[in-house]
Amino acid sequence: MGPHEVVGVDVRGNQIMAHAFRGRDDRLFAMLGVMTPCCGASGKGLMDEPSGQGFIGCRKCYSEVDPLHGDAWTWDEDLDAPVKWDRIARDLFDGNLEKVAGVAQSVKALMDRAEQRGI
């Protein structure tokens, strides 16, 4: 498992966590996810047993959360790809590209540390 850390806060006040890892092609990636407001955990798909209805819930306490917490954004070594910035800005910062630039700097630093550690 590669390094992970909080790299920002979205417009709703939720922490954004990044996790660095190597892909099958040996390229370095960072996976970003929005932590749940209840426990600061990631979201995951869950099912209500009696009803059979699926929902996105907190990985720690299993409470239902906004589906945003079950989503993830992947960045590879090309942090400047505009389509990635646009999607992250839209989903997490109400379109504010300046906020994405700050997150990108933190993600780049995380990926640099992962590279130095040989992840």
Is the pLDDT at 65 greater than 90? The verdict is yes
Kindly give, in sequence order, each residue whose CB lies less than 8 Å from that of residue 103, ignoring residues fewer than 6 positions away. 7, 8, 16, 32, 88, 92
pLDDT digits (tens, 9 = 90+) for 70-93: 988 887 766 666 566 778 888 888
Per-domain boundaries in the chain: 4-38+69-114
pLDDT digits (tens, 9 = 90+) for 5-35: 899 999 999 999 998 888 888 888 888 899 9
